[in-house]
């Protein structure tokens, strides 16, 4: 099982570098880790682009956003240059599938499930969402969940940042 302190694979960094990263580096920070099945596919770019577009909103909320697939960091760089377009977030290459397996999202086909994890300051997973491979997820819903979790309050269905909390009876 993957845990804080466990090294994770190399990442493609938006400025074009490829470098190793570690989950330990994010201890004490909120972390959103989202997995997609493969690069050079059809649904994945729609998600990655929206997550990238919302990177500022995640950063304002003191959150680190990392994307992961079972492709290499070199494949990520090629995809960015030849199809996906510029992204603002690090893209981890999980060729060994250790990260996908450690988080329990490795599909029988060998690709990562379409899954999202929100991890709190202490390194505890606070939210897990997974979709069938053919259905994209909502980056905006991830942001809403993050805000609700960060509030530490009771939040209603469809609650949005700035709205009243549910009063405990």
- Residues labelled catalytic: 44
CA–CA distance, 45 with 62 (Å, rounded to integer):
24
Residues across the chain? 169
- The full DSSP string for 54-95 is THHHHHHTTEEEEEEESS-HHHHHHHIIIII---SS-EEE-T
CA–CA distance, 168 with 161 (Å, rounded to integer):
19
């Amino acid at each position: 099982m993957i845990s804080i302190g466990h090294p994770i694979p190399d990442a493609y960094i938006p400025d074009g570098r490829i470098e190793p990263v570690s989950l330990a580096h994010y201890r004490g920070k909120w972390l959103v880790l989202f997995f997609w099945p493969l690069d050079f596919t059809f649904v994945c770019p729609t998600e990655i682009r929206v997550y990238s577009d919302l990177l500022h909103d995640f950063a304002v909320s003191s959150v680190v956003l990392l994307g992961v697939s079972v492709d290499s960091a070199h494949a990520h760089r090629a995809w960015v240059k030849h199809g996906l377009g510029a992204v603002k977030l690090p893209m981890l290459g999980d060729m060994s599938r250790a990260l996908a397996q450690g988080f329990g999202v490795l599909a029988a086909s060998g690709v990562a499930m379409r899954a999202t994890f929100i991890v709190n300051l202490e390194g505890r997973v606070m939210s897990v969402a997974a979709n069938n491979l053919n259905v994209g997820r909502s980056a905006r819903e991830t942001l809403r969940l993050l805000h609700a979790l960060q509030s530490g309050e009771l939040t209603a269905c469809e609650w949005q940042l700035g709205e009243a909390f549910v009063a405990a009876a």
